[in-house]
Amino acid sequence: MAEAQNIPVGSTTAGTIAVAADSTVATRMSAPPSFDVADFPVPHGREEEWRFTPLERLRGLHDGTAEAGGVLTVEVTAPEGVTVETVDRTDARLGRAGTPVDRVAAQAYSSFEKASVVSVPKEAVLTEPIRIAVHGEGGTAYGHQVVELGAFAEAVVVIDHTGDAVLAANVDFVVGDGAKLTVVSVQDWDDTAVHVSQHNARIGRDASFKSVVVTFGGDLVRLNPQVQYAGTGGEAELFGLYFTDAGQHQEHRLLVDHNTPHCKSNVAYKGALQGDGAHAVWIGDVLIQAAAEGTDTYEMNRNLVLTDGARVDSVPNLEIETGEIAGAGHASATGRFDDEQLFYLMSRGIRAEEARRLVVRGFFAELVQQIGLPDVEERLLAKIDAELEASV
């Protein structure tokens, strides 16, 4: 067996390097994955998986004190041929795409009462997206959603999160053999919301999964997109954008588990930050297991810091247990929009606020253009413009 490699890189705006612990992706978690919240100790904040997260702002999701009782609606709009069901905890289709990796995800799995299951039958090619509108009216909620595509089905799912909530959830994406699923998850919460969610994708043989995570709102948003492969030839593309304003904590922790030969993954997350106490965290774990020969993977994180007082922690982590791979790489960079850039643009007649917008829009557009779905791209650029109008 090839020697495991661990190549942590990171950057913060304070100029120091945040480096992952010397342990492996699996062992540096404080407990192995489990559906049962009792299997996870209550975090104290120094654990590898919690050290960047302000626990006091989780409103008790992490220590069992957050009781469900909030008002959260989940509205699914789906084209004909798609089955939408609300099911009990005992439904056999739940939890097949992955297992909770931390205490809050396990808490969600242990606490939800009803789950929604959206099924696209095999070989159905949807021309309209499935829309899932998650709207909070305050209070704590635990959720579970499943989206499953039969073999060779093709679908786009757009999940919008709005309003105010303290929400912990798991979302399963079960992608059948040869199927193609694109998921756009927009976190457009009110500034008071707390949202902790694990996205589990299980990608079938020769199937492809594309995830676009867009985080603008919330007081604290912490998402754990997880990918595993059920057969050879699977492809995952994980794109993300976040715009972290003053006081917001936005954390994206990805794990792509190459457990199967000849699969691909490409991760690209970009974030812009501004204002005092804006904190973005990006953890990109890629594990290439010994069996996963022929793997091709790349992960990238870029951050643009617009003002003083914002902080980025970016930690890509690649572990390779076989030398027989097609490619593996990662990159992380955090840069500032500084006074010299502002001077340069203004010296060409461009007003200060427009200069800032120009830089941020360009920064995100580069990523948006890779999504490959014109209507989604347009919507995101419009969303970015609106965000910029409101805040920059």
Partner 1 sequence: MATLEIRDLHVSVEADNSTKEILKGVDLTVKQGETHAIMGPNGSGKSTLAYSIAGHPKYTITSGTVTLDGEDVLEMSVDERARAGMFLAMQYPVEVPGVSVSNFLRTSATAIRGEAPKLRTWVKEVKSAMEQLQMDPAFAERNVNEGFSGGEKKRHEILQLELLQPKIAILDETDSGLDVDALRQVSEGVNRVHASGEVGTLLITHYTRILRYIKPDFVHVFAKGKIVASGGPELADKLEAEGYEEYTKGGVTA
**Which residues contribute to the site for partner 1 (CB under 8 A)?**
304, 335, 339-341, 343-352, 354, 358-366
Q: How far is the CB of 358 from partner 1 (least distance, A)?
A: 5
| Closer of 42 and 346 to partner 1 (Cβ) | 346
Q: How far is the CB of 370 from partner 1 (least distance, A)?
A: 14
Q: How far is the CB of 9 from partner 1 (least distance, A)?
A: 18
Distance in Å, CB of 362 to partner 1, minimum: 4
Rank residues 54 and 335 by Cβ distance to partner 1 and give the closer one. 335
Nearer to partner 1, 142 or 239 (CB): 239
Rounded to whole angstroms, the Cα distance separating 72 from 57 reads 19
Nearer to partner 1 by Cβ, of 229 and 337: the residue is 337
Residue at token pair 């009781």: 67
Q: Which of 186, 46, 56, 36 is nearest to 105 (CA)?
A: 36
What's the one-letter identity of residue 71? V
Select 19 or 346, whichever has its Cβ closest to partner 1.
346
Q: Which residues of 259-284 are buried (b: 16+ CB within 10 A; e: fewer)?
A: bbbbbbbbbbbbbbbbbeebbbbbbb
CB-side neighbour CA atoms (13 Å) of 49: 28
Give min distance, CB of 369 to partner 1, in A: 11
**Smallest gap, in angstroms, from Cβ of residue 304 to partner 1?**
7
Amino acid at 246: A
Q: Which two tokens stand for residue 71?
A: 């008002």
Nearest residue (CB) to partner 1, 171 versus 359? 359
Q: How far is the CB of 342 from partner 1 (least distance, A)?
A: 8
CB of 318 or CB of 359, closer to partner 1: 359
194 vs 125: CA distance, rounded Å: 35
Q: Which is nearer to partner 1, 349 or 374 (CB)?
A: 349
Q: How far apart are CA 47 and CA 37, in angstroms?
A: 16
CB of 124 to partner 1, least distance (A): 39
Could you tell me the smallest distance in angstroms from the CB atom of residue 352 to partner 1? 7
323 or 344: CB nearest partner 1: 344
Residue closer to partner 1 by CB (options 324, 366) is 366
Give min distance, CB of 240 to partner 1, in A: 16
